[in-house]
Amino acid sequence: VREGFIRYGLSAADIKKKIHEFKPDVVGVGGMHSNRVYEVQDVLEAVKAVSGGIITVVGGGYASMHPEHCLSSPNCDYVVLGEGEYTARDLLRRIDQKKDISDLDGFGYKIKGKFRINPKTVNIPNLDEIPFPAYHLLKMKDYFNIRMPGSRYEMRNYSLFCGSRGCPHKCSYCAKALIVGEGYRKRSISNMIEEITLLKNDFKVEEIRFVDYHTMADVKHWKAFCRALVDQKIGIRFIDPHGFAVNALNGELIELMHEAGCDHLYISIESGDQEFLSRLSKRVDLGKVEGIIRKSHELDMPVTGYFIIGLPGQTWKEIAATVEYAKSLDLDDVDFFIANPFPGTDIYGECEEKRLMYPDFDFQRIRYSLNNIKGPDYTREMIESVRRDAWFEIMTRNMRKGKIRIRR
């Protein structure tokens, strides 16, 4: 659809056809990230092209971080901020009952050309109250074969899965507070097991991929969950593509996770400079990393390491230290993410205050391979090149060693 981005699913023509057939009163559109503005606008335009009377509601990260930008589209009627389950439910009830909607929590609308945004003040305390997704309404098989170009995932029947919301930490580059609120909440183990069993038995799902902000925020709870998978012989594989916390891992836990079904370990190392990690208040002990990798390899589990470079104030020396550290590790795969100033994050405010963003910065085109924050002693070309070259060097080395393989 546009350079650097991939769009899956129906074309605008197919969306219009579906709308014609279904004749909905309301259409909800989810924009998971702020850089999916164009796709959201395409869907809204298709809906309104069928009938201007259809009510359109946008939710997700885009609407939560940019409610006014979203509402500025003539094709968007309402936005839902943050957790949308209860707000969307209440909105539909009030529309059906022709009641006032102006006081809904976490809700935005337009009146006489002006925007009205009600901030999100209440989050769902008990996540077990939320019904499971209506998987029976989805063509699950259509999603099983979707993966990004270059992805090292094995092609299994998989489903995304969320066992918690939020995170107890406050990383400067994370916008989770706008999307799921402050604090950390988790589902009960029995509730999680019930949904996983449903996915496996009714929809032939073989693997779940966690999309939590911090899967192991409560290590005791995580251990109990893994133990339940083992004791109840659930027989599902799982990974956390967002990355497990280094400091929460140890040999005993890695063994339990492997027994429970984890067969690829993704770890959030972040930086190869311990002093820089301390300045960021990141709870990562680099002294543990090699032991984690070694233990995982003993269990025949590949390890992917995640690093972030280009944060405000980070020097070229510190970036180089991270790159060299990554090269020194026996990782099976590696990803270097260039820090980006997502609106609503602390680093966005810092970049605005210090004028660190490049003039061509556009939140609608944020990508982790592109540099949008000016460095103190390096250029955009330098950091983008070192990211690309370091990844290529590590993966070429692993290919020569025969480490890159498709798991079955």
Give, rounded to a whole angstrom, the gap between the first and last alpha carbons of the chain: 32
Number of domains within the chain: 2
Question: Does the residue 381 lie in any domain?
Answer: yes
Question: Does the residue 292 lie in any domain?
Answer: yes
> Digits of tens for pLDDT over the chain (408 positions)?
566 667 777 888 999 999 999 999 999 999 888 778 888 999 999 999 999 999 999 999 999 999 999 999 999 999 999 999 999 999 999 999 999 999 999 999 999 989 999 999 999 999 999 999 999 999 888 888 776 544 555 678 999 999 999 999 888 888 888 888 888 999 999 999 999 999 999 999 999 999 999 999 999 999 999 999 999 999 999 999 999 999 999 999 999 999 999 999 999 999 999 988 888 878 899 999 999 999 999 999 999 999 999 999 999 999 999 999 999 999 999 999 999 998 888 999 999 999 999 999 988 888 889 999 999 999 999 999 999 999 999 999 988 887 765 444
Q: What is the pLDDT of residue 407?
A: 44
Q: Are residues 225 and 261 in the same domain?
A: yes
Helix (H) or strand (E) holding 118: strand 114-118
CA-to-CA distance for 238 and 232, rounded, in angstroms?
15
Question: Does the residue 238 lie in any domain?
Answer: yes
Question: Does the residue 155 lie in any domain?
Answer: yes
Q: Are residues 27 and 105 in the same domain?
A: yes
Which domain-ending residue is among 99, 118, 137?
118
In terms of Cα–Cα distance, which of 209, 207, 296 is closest to 249?
296
Q: Are residues 105 and 144 in the same domain?
A: no
Contacts of 369 (CB under 8 A, 6+ apart): 338, 384, 387, 388
Q: Are residues 96 and 143 in the same domain?
A: no
Q: Are residues 96 and 25 in the same domain?
A: yes
Q: Are residues 137 and 80 in the same domain?
A: no
CA-to-CA distance for 153 and 322, rounded, in angstroms?
25
Residue keyed to tokens 């330098």? 382
Q: Are residues 87 and 196 in the same domain?
A: no
To the question of pTM greater than 0.85 for the whole model, the response is yes
* Structural domain for 21, as ranges: 12-118
Q: Are residues 112 and 178 in the same domain?
A: no
Side chain identity at residue 294, one-letter code: R
Q: Are residues 42 and 146 in the same domain?
A: no
In terms of Cα–Cα distance, which of 364, 169, 283, 124 is closest to 177?
169
Q: What is the pLDDT of residue 282?
A: 85
Can you give the CATH number for the domain in which 26 is found?
Answer: 3.40.50.280
DSSP structure string for 28-42? EEE--SGGGHHHHHH
In terms of Cα–Cα distance, which of 54, 53, 78 is closest to 68?
78
H runs (alpha helix) in 153-273: 176-180, 189-203, 219-231, 251-260
Q: Are residues 240 and 365 in the same domain?
A: yes
Can you give the CATH number for the domain in which 324 is found?
Answer: 3.80.30.20
Side chain identity at residue 372, one-letter code: N
Which domain-ending residue is among 56, 87, 118?
118
Residue keyed to tokens 């957790």? 83
Q: Are residues 105 and 161 in the same domain?
A: no
Question: Does the residue 3 lie in any domain?
Answer: no
Which domain-ending residue is among 81, 96, 118?
118
Q: Which residues pair with 266 in a beta bridge?
A: 304
Question: Does the residue 406 lie in any domain?
Answer: no
Q: Are residues 254 and 365 in the same domain?
A: yes
CA-to-CA distance for 235 and 135, rounded, in angstroms?
20
SS3 content of the chain, % helix, strand, coil (to 5): 40, 15, 40
**Residues 50, 163: contact at Cβ < 8 Å?**
no
In terms of Cα–Cα distance, which of 180, 184, 164, 172 is closest to 81?
180
Question: Does the residue 148 lie in any domain?
Answer: yes
Question: Does the residue 4 lie in any domain?
Answer: no
Contacts of 140 (CB under 8 A, 6+ apart): 157, 159, 203, 204, 205
Token reading at 101: 């909607």
Q: What is the pLDDT of residue 313?
A: 92
**Residues 12, 44: contact at Cβ < 8 Å?**
no
